[in-house]
């Protein structure tokens, strides 16, 4: 088991994400009102209805790909994390240090920091590169 580095304080990050999301949503609404919804705007949350808000029991305390522990009492919602249904400049759950992978049929993946099911092709504001990418 790898040593768990200190947890990153999430409150300042979440405040930034929340502020950015409000500005982004406001901007999107403004654009949609004037010109209709663009494909990139539609992509932001299109997958959320397909994702379960729960993770299978065995994932509740499972470790991430880098051995980070998942504490179900210390995680945030996808909304709080600024989760979007797309990658961000090459960053995505598949190469994030917090990813918990799954071969379970019908279940995509989980995360040590964010509640519910996630997809390996998506991204959130808590992203940190997996250790294999830092070497």
- The residues that touch ligand SF4, with contacts defined as CB under 6 A, are 81, 83, 93, 96, 98-99, 111, 113-114, 118, 123-124, 126-127
Kindly tell me which of 29 and 133 has the beta carbon lying closer to ligand SF4.
Answer: 133
Minimum CB distance to ligand SF4, residue 61 (Å): 16
Minimum CB distance to ligand SF4, residue 30 (Å): 27
Q: Quick check: 117 and 51 in contact, CB under 8 A?
A: yes
Neighbours of 67 (CB within 10 A): 14
Minimum CB distance to ligand SF4, residue 122 (Å): 6
Instruction: State the maximum Cα–Cα separation within the chain, in Å, rounded to a whole number.
Output: 53
Cβ partners under 8 Å of residue 91, min gap 6:
123, 127, 129
Q: Residue 90 and residue 56: Cα distance in Å, rounded? A: 28
Strands in the chain per DSSP E: 99-100, 110-111
Task: Determine phi and psi for 19, rounding to 5 degrees.
Answer: -60, -45
Kindly tell me which of 59 and 83 has the beta carbon lying closer to ligand SF4.
Answer: 83
Kindly tell me which of 41 and 86 has the beta carbon lying closer to ligand SF4.
Answer: 86
Kindly tell me which of 28 and 121 has the beta carbon lying closer to ligand SF4.
Answer: 121
Minimum CB distance to ligand SF4, residue 114 (Å): 4
């Amino acid at each position: 088991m790898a040593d768990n580095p200190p947890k990153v304080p999430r409150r300042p990050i979440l405040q930034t994400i929340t502020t950015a999301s409000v500005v982004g949503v406001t901007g999107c609404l403004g654009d949609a009102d004037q010109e209709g919804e663009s494909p990139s705007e539609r992509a932001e949350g299109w997958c959320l209805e397909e994702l379960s808000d729960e993770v299978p029991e065995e994932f509740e305390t499972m470790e991430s790909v880098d051995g980070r522990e998942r504490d179900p009492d210390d995680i945030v919602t996808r909304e709080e994390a600024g989760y979007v249904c797309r990658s961000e400049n090459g960053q995505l759950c598949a190469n994030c240090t917090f990813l918990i992978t799954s071969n379970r049929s019908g279940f995509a993946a989980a995360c040590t920091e964010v509640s519910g099911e996630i997809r390996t092709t998506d991204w959130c504001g808590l992203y940190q590169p997996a250790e294999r990418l830092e070497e």
